[in-house]
Structure 1
């Protein structure tokens, strides 16, 4: 599969409505995994014509493989159908998070895992070639842009939700899709 030399990942944006929800996610965080499972049902419930949903990847240092996995997701976003391919990669990491996370953030079976091991594991689950786009300069630029955007908006933890450009702490990962819909009214 050919990838452009610069490999600029596509933005992770769905819908085109006037209301805008931006969600900052770390792919191995259990709270982010729970929140991510609500996003597409939320968009479907509200409607793509009424809601714009944008996902920002927010690497967290206590999730020790976070930067590598964020880079893998952005690499997936350079491939055909990049937005949906990247989302599939987010979901796959969540479905197999024990394979991509340390136990108690500092120990366990992943202690001997290398970045190449992680990429190979994720390629096995997604059936995507991520190793080549992982190394693209455009992926580095996108990682920096995601981090910069989060810092500019005071985002320190994930999941964090911004509604119409402002952080909205009312959105919690343990709430239902219906509760999130009610917060949009």
Structure 2
């Protein structure tokens, strides 16, 4: 699957040249996405890393899946894209931090504060992960600027991720593609056993 060069940090596991691709469409405020993200970190990342069983065989691409029925979904995905710009190697650690603290960005907790305050909180969380010296850079990217309806510095990247999902018919999170086709059998409840069996059937070691 395609990935524009500026979004290379979204390759969260494996080598970018690996022949097989696992595209994972996740929303930071989706509990099921959080479960799958933890499985990726605990099960798949070691398998696809250098020296792992599937080293050089499979790459995992994170696909930002904005769910507009959650008002904060846009803001948390903007923050991840800002971190990808400021500290590319920290995109996945920041994503994991977002998933672990996703409850703070659910509908009710964010209903009593402004979007500007939400973005400021996200920049602070980014600082906790990538260093407080870079938190200001993240906040600057998230600040609205330009025309009254012009978005912010990562709006173009956000548009790309949304258009990519739409043109590929991705509607819900999590959705997982294996080599470009939806793998409906993959579940957020999968653990090491299920993933091991899936990879054994799909990848020649």
Cα shift at 1:137: 5.9
Counterpart in 2 of 1:132? 140
C-alpha spacing 1:25/1:109, structure 2 compared with 1 (3 Å): closer
The answer on 1:174 being equivalent to 2:189 is: yes
Asked if the contact 2:110–2:118 (Cα under 8 Å) also holds between the matched residues in 1, the reply is no
Match of 2:155, SS?
Answer: helix
91-100 or 38-47, which deviates more: 38-47
Counterpart in 1 of 2:51? none
**Segments of 4+ moved more than 3 angstroms:** 8-11, 135-138
Asked if the contact 2:142–2:153 (Cα under 8 Å) also holds between the matched residues in 1, the reply is no
C-alpha spacing 1:109/1:158, structure 2 compared with 1 (3 Å): closer
What's the TM-score once normalised by structure 1's chain length?
A: 0.84
Counterpart in 2 of 1:5? none
The answer on 1:28 being equivalent to 2:36 is: no
Counterpart in 2 of 1:12? 10
- State the distance in 2 between where 1:75 and 1:15 align: 22
39-48 or 150-159, which deviates more: 39-48
Alignment gaps of 5+ in structure 2: 1-5, 49-53, 128-134, 144-150
Asked if the contact 1:24–1:161 (Cα under 8 Å) also holds between the matched residues in 2, the reply is yes
Instruction: Specify which structure has the higher proportion of helix.
Output: 2
What's the TM-score once normalised by structure 2's chain length?
A: 0.76
| Equivalent pairs, count | 171
The answer on 1:51 being equivalent to 2:70 is: no
Root-mean-square deviation over aligned CA pairs: 1.9
Greater gyration radius: 2
Alignment gaps of 5+ in structure 1: 1-7, 103-107
Counterpart in 2 of 1:144? 159
Higher relative contact order (CA 8 A, sep 6+): 1
